[in-house]
Structure 1
Amino acid sequence: MNDNTPIKVLEYGRLQDYDVNPSRIGFKWVTMESEKFICICEKNRLLIIDRSESNNLIQRPFKVDAAIMHPRSKIVALRDRRELQIYNLYLNYKVKTYIMHEDIVFWKWVNVKKLCVITENSVYHWLLDGISSPKKIFDRNLEMKNCDEIINYHVDAEEKWMLIVGVKVLNGNILGTIQLHKKETNKDNIIKGHAATFTSLKMEHGIYPTKFFIYSVRNQDSSKLHIIEIDHKEENPVIAEKAVDVFYSSENVNDFPISIQVSKKYYIIFLLTKNGYIQLFDLETGMCIYVSRVSPTTIFTSVPEEIDGGIVGVNRSGQILSIDIDETNIVTYILDNLNDRSLAIRLAKRNDLPGIEDICSDDTDISGEIIL
């Protein structure tokens, strides 16, 4: 990236550097549950790149269909059709095993204590306590059962809301469907969308954090990013729903959103598309900050970088990429290219960034810092 852009894109190596078979570089075999580990499930072995320990490589002779690392610890979940195993890599010890009565189609760590398991019909949560069995949380809607593949699952911080994202190929088009489930009412909403997540932000004049459901969809009529407040608290200001345009170039008629990550450091939405583009949006206003192609191939798995406030992912070429906010440029970029003084000031004050010194010395009515 050149010096005038608000992001930095860095390559931290390639999976081929670890002798990974190129045929195994894809969504089914390469997983990331956090920035700490990259897990690669090959035919006769399991490879784990520990990014927290100078990319140390861990190998085990496991023959399983799939594997995902715990977000924080050297604990790995192994799956072979209906059988689930939790394995402690520190002790080389199998912690627990469970056999589901249905085939498993998707799974993901909900948090450091809980694993989500999605079968052909239902969604389960499995506690990492050594004794519990998977507990059914809700059933998949009929429209979700018609999806060809489940590609993501999220819960909000309080586990009051859950969502499943599925896709279906129809006449060469990729159609996305989201099942949004509310635990308290046991009700579902079915939404057309390709990517979604939850997040929260403590707004100015707000007593409690404001919770958001965010999703994006591309169809023949429009391409939108939706930012919707959920579980509104009366003590907080009401946040109107936003539906903002998502840009796709005329050369990328078949492109669509595949991932949404939210930086809890900057409160900027990172939207990745199938063709390797990234779009940045301000969470509070929905303002589109920046659009650029950052990868020649699909970044098929990505997670937030908690400390740096960016994201890290792996593309189909095997590149391990990080996409971070360039703190030296982003405020001046917003001022020069978007002419949005309010956003520039808010971002600079919230993160102690350079770029507003001249503005603040001239203006006497600047306020509105977001309280974190």
Structure 2
Amino acid sequence: MHLTEANVLISVVDVVNLTDHNVPHSEITWSRVSMTSDRWICVRHSKIDSTKTFRWIVLDQENDYKHISYSGSTVADSVLMHPSEPIIAFKAFKTFQVFNLDTKSLLCETSHGEKVLFWTWLNSDVIGIITETAICHWFVWKEETSPKKVLNNHRRLKSTQIVSYKADHAMRWLAITGLFEEGNGISGIILVHSVSENLTQCISAHAVCFAEYHFQDNPYPSNVFCVASRDTRSHGNIHVIELHPYRKGNLAPKNTCDRIHVDFLDSFGKYDFPTTIQVSSRYGVLFMITKYSVLYICDMETAAPLICSGISNDIIITATLNTKTQGILGISKDGMVIFVNLQKTKFVYKRKHAVKKNVQASLSEEKKILEVDKMTSDKCQSVHRKTNASQ
């Protein structure tokens, strides 16, 4: 698809720049700017004088992130907002504290005996903590609880930089992503763990997400696992896989075993790779964003690719689904907060056309297979008749 066509189907809107809130350009990094959902943007930035104290600010979705809703100072090395409530969590080395920002009260705290490599809110109740030896869960609202070990850290993750930890809505499936430099590019390892089966597998990929999606021919929604990767030949794949437990009456998704092929653009460099996957269940599409800000949109039903377009002139450091518009909320390295919105009427028409074309291609391919099967069957029967006649 030409970029001009993509520009008709999506709009990219610059909302606000973090530098407008006195965040220095040098402080706009992946480790300092976080979004646990589209509700908040949280930034831990400038050191105050020569002390070990840092400033932090929180921007709220309600005013399009244009005004600071909360701010303060902290000695913490990392700060994360609760996905939906005005609650903030601080990590200072091995200690965790959770505060209510409206009442300014400490809600709970805990500590961990090991160095923390990565941590995040997995949902509204659980903070996931990854150390050098273990993956732990802290059930924040349970009284007198400390982080509980869920499984051992895998040896293949120990030489990587952990960049993501996600869980499905029921906490039955977990996925941890680690990146590392290999040859002339960036490779990824994703540890996938089934809690109910207590089984773990590592796969080569760069980005992952879990989603509930209702496929058209099924009576119930499916729990799906979406994963994106790039190989050494600049080709990418996106897999959409249904996870158990399976709902009775549901058919397997048409693209369970299919791959959405993505060709990475050479002009964006050899280090480009998928960093974010998001699913819009309302519009039936999957968004994949690369480090160098290329957006790919694919159909969830058929795996048909719909759009490929650049959305920023700089690196995208973090992005999530905009739950209001079902588009994308992203932040670039230059501090720009952007909305990527679907031009709904035109996009729906494009999706229907692309899906119809993809289905026709699939039916044509099936017809060819059936014709080959019939020819093979006829040939076998002919040989069988000749064999019987000779006997």
TM interval, short-chain normalised = 0.7 to 0.9
- Asked if 1:27 corresponds to 2:30, the answer is yes
1:105 counterpart residue number: 117
Q: Corresponding residue for 1:96?
A: 108
Task: Give the structure with higher Rg (CA).
Answer: 2
Report how many aligned residue pairs link the two structures.
Answer: 341
Kindly indicate whether the alpha-carbon contact (under 8 Å) linking 1:264 and 1:306 is maintained by their aligned counterparts in 2: no
Q: Is the 8 A contact 2:185 2:232 kept in 1?
A: no
Give the Cα–Cα distance (whole angstroms) in 2 for the partners of residues 22 and 322 of structure 1.
20
Alignment-derived partner of residue 153 in structure 2: 140
Amino acid at match of 1:314: I
- % identical aligned pairs: 26
Do residues 167 (structure 1) and 170 (structure 2) align?
no
Please point out which of 7, 12, 16 is paired with 1:13.
Answer: 16
1:305 aligned residue (322, 336, 357):
322
Conserved in 1, the CA contact under 8 Å of 2:214 and 2:281?
no
State the 1:172 CA deviation: 4.2
Deviation at 1:200, TM superposition (A): 2.1
**Correspondence 1:278 to 2:281:** no
Whether the aligned pair in 1 keeps the contact of 2:207 and 2:274 (CA below 8 Å) is yes
For the residue of structure 2 that corresponds to 1:111, the secondary structure is coil
> How far off its partner does 1:68 sit?
0.6
Match of 1:86 in 2: 98
- TM-score computed with the length of structure 2 as normaliser: 0.83
Matches within 5 A, 1:226-305: 226-231=239-244, 232-239=246-253, 240-252=256-268, 253-305=270-322
- Letter matched to residue 186 of structure 2: I
Q: What corresponds to 1:216 in structure 2?
A: 228
CA distance in 2, matches of 1:310, 1:208: 24
- Contact kept in structure 2, 1:74 and 1:89, CA below 8 Å: yes
Distance 1:22 1:305 in 2: 24
Q: Counterpart amino acid of 1:260? A: I
Judged with a 3 Å threshold, the aligned counterparts in structure 2 of structure 1 residues 342 and 215 are, in CA distance, closer, same or farther, namely: closer
1:138 alignment partner AA: L
Query: Distance between the aligned counterparts of 1:35 and 1:339, measured in 2?
Result: 29
1:150-170 per-residue CA deviation (whole Å, 9 max, x = no partner) reads 111111111111000110113
| Contact residue 242 and residue 286 of structure 1 kept, 8 A | yes
**Cα-to-partner distance string for 1:109-166 (whole Å, 9 max, x where unaligned):** 111122111112222221221522212222221101121x111111111111100011
Return the alpha-carbon distance in structure 1 between the equivalents of residues 133 and 315 of structure 2: 29
Q: What is the alpha-carbon distance in structure 2 between the residues aligned to residue 250 and residue 314 of structure 1?
A: 23
Partner of 1:366: none
| Two-structure CA RMSD over aligned residues (Å) | 1.9
Compared CA separation, residues 175 and 59, structure 1 to 2 (3 A):
same
Aligned residues of 1:13 and 1:319 also touching (Cα < 8 A): yes
Q: Paired residue for 2:82?
A: 70
Q: Which amino acid aligns with 2:306?
A: I
CA contact (8 A) 2:321 2:328 kept: yes
Aligned-partner Cα distance in 1 for 2:36–2:352: 35
Which whole-Å CA distance do the structure 1 matches of 2:261 and 2:16 have between them?
A: 34
Alignment of structure 1 residues 183-198 onto 2, 5 Å:
183-198=195-210
Aligned: 1:40 with 2:52:
no
Q: Tell me the amino acid that sits aligned with residue 233 of structure 1.
A: R
Contact map agreement 1:214 1:228 (CA 8 A) in 2: yes
- Structure-2 change in CA distance of 1:227 and 1:84 (3 Å): same
**d(CA) in 2 for partners of 1:331 and 1:233?**
28
2:335 aligned partner: 318
Query: How far apart, CA to CA, are the structure 2 residues paired with 1:104 and 1:230?
Result: 30
5+ long unaligned stretches in structure 1: 344-372
The question of whether the paired residues in 2 share the 8 Å contact of 1:228 and 1:242 is answered with no
Q: Check 1:339–1:46 CA distance in 2 against 1; reply closer, same or farther (3 A cut).
A: closer
Distance 1:41 1:90, change over 3 A: same
Contact kept in structure 1, 2:302 and 2:355, CA below 8 Å: no
Q: Decide which structure has greater helix share.
A: 2
Query: 2:34 corresponds to which letter in structure 1?
Result: T
CA distance in 2, matches of 1:207, 1:180: 27
**Cα offset for 1:89?**
0.8
